Structure 1
Amino acid sequence: MRTTELAVRAGELAAPGERRVLGIAGPPGAGKSTLAARLAAALGPERAVVVPMDGFHLAQAELERLGRADRKGAPDTFDAAGYVALLRRLRAPCTPHGPAVYAPAFDRSLEEPVAASIPVPPDVPLVITEGNYLLHDAGEWAAVRPLLDEAWYLAPAEDLRLERLIDRHVRHGKDPVHAREWVARSDERNARLVALGRHRADLVLDAG
């Protein structure tokens, strides 16, 4: 499906006076954040806002304390309970005079989450959230899927996905050799786990 067709489908969820949540899942490098941004741009800021799951990465210092820095991006390296709590807040009914809800973002230049970076105005009807583990059914993550009004899964060609992923790591500071090693050792292990949730999606997109 084209982005325009997907924007129409997302727009059907953006009913005034209601608050719905669209989840976009998929393995690392699938293009989740790109699609989410395009949908939000197509719908406009009055109708949609993007809240990435990546804002719930544990801080680097905490990953090092836990001995998990070498597996950053695995399910247990996120604050899954915090993400679920935010989704529950975001599902509250839209009111034009209520307070904004603030969500964290992940700053790739710092490789750290940054609190209260994304304001969600009270009257925006659609929240688009994206991330690896929206369809994961283990531990705290199992509570995410019931909080999504609709869930999409991105399944791009593997060679394209890996190329994008390696390029992203290089752009954010890893040398090419380290980037390829990280993808093969860590990201692909996560990708196999993410793929297990594919059948829980309402729509599977073979993205290019």
Structure 2
Amino acid sequence: MTLGLDALVTAAVALVGERRRVVLGIAGAPGAGKSTLAEALVGAVAAREGDGWVAHVPMDGFHLADVQLERLGARGRKGTPDTFDADGYAHLLDRVVDEPDSWVYAPGFDRTLEQPLAAAMVVPPSARLVVTEGNYLLLPEPRWERARGRLAEVWFVAGDEELRRSRLVARHVTFGKEPEAAEAWVARNDDANAAVVAAAAGRADRVVVNGPDGWSFGALR
């Protein structure tokens, strides 16, 4: 096992090599720490390579808005694979890779509103490495595999399951759910989504362990 964020930064920068731009994907179950890792990695790469060399584009901006979920009768299972605009996400990654000299705008996601926000994020022409993260980057389905095809590598975040689950409940409470409702949502929705994600974990290029001593490259248990 290789320990430390520095090792992850070195591996991420090495992915770029002489290429104009690459996209690194970070996958994992809800609450695994994907966003935390992505933000730490982007910050550390920027500190090493300079501001503007790296950009962050989460998949969360491609949640379908509640108005669309209601139209589809899917609001009660928000967060499942079919409640994302996977084709739009893949198209964004096409632009990120194929148009490196353009300012590429991307949607963000407001966790207080629980809604996507158009053009909240941007990939500048200076970016050589773009980090994206989401639950479903490794799913063996055509709509997700199109996006996977634009990623240089996908790293899967693994860690303690009880801690991951407790973080999810706490997150739902922070953003407005009562504790019992938060626990019920995790049991009904997030646990099922986590099982779908875990089933595809073997397709990852590398595993990053979210452990008590920080981030490290490791192996699935």
Q: TM-score range by the shorter chain?
A: over 0.9
Deviates more, 1:42-51 or 1:58-67: 42-51
SS across alignment from 1:181: helix
**1:12 partnered with 2:14:** yes
Q: Number of residue pairs matched?
A: 205
- Which AA in structure 2 matches 1:185? R
Query: Cα distance, 1:205 vs. partner?
Result: 2.0
CA distance in 2, matches of 1:113, 1:192: 25
Partner of 2:93: 87
Partner of 2:127: 124
Q: CA RMSD in A?
A: 1.3
CA distance in 2, matches of 1:175, 1:161: 19
Partner of 2:192: 189
CA distance in 2, matches of 1:123, 1:11: 14
- Which AA in structure 2 matches 1:6? L
SS across alignment from 1:129: strand
SS across alignment from 2:98: coil
Q: Which runs of 5+ in 2 are unaligned?
A: 212-221
2:169 to 144, 166, 170: 166
Query: Cα distance, 1:8 vs. partner?
Result: 1.4
2:62 to 56, 60, 72: 56
Please tell me whether the aligned partners of residues 19 and 93 of structure 1 are also in contact (alpha carbons under 8 angstroms).
Answer: no
Partner of 1:202: 205
Please tell me whether the aligned partners of residues 157 and 206 of structure 1 are also in contact (alpha carbons under 8 angstroms).
Answer: no
Query: Cα distance, 1:100 vs. partner?
Result: 0.2
Query: Cα distance, 1:16 vs. partner?
Result: 6.3
Partner of 2:39: 37
CA distance in 1, matches of 2:35, 2:94: 21
- Which AA in structure 2 matches 1:92? D
Please tell me whether the aligned partners of residues 103 and 116 of structure 1 are also in contact (alpha carbons under 8 angstroms).
Answer: yes
CA distance in 1, matches of 2:145, 2:19: 28
Partner of 2:30: 28
Query: Cα distance, 1:123 vs. partner?
Result: 2.2
**Any runs of at least 4 consecutive aligned residues in structure 1 with deviations exceeding 3 A, and if so which?**
14-17
- Which AA in structure 1 matches 2:57? V
CA distance in 1, matches of 2:70, 2:189: 16
SS across alignment from 2:52: coil
Q: Percent identity?
A: 51
Query: Cα distance, 1:153 vs. partner?
Result: 0.2
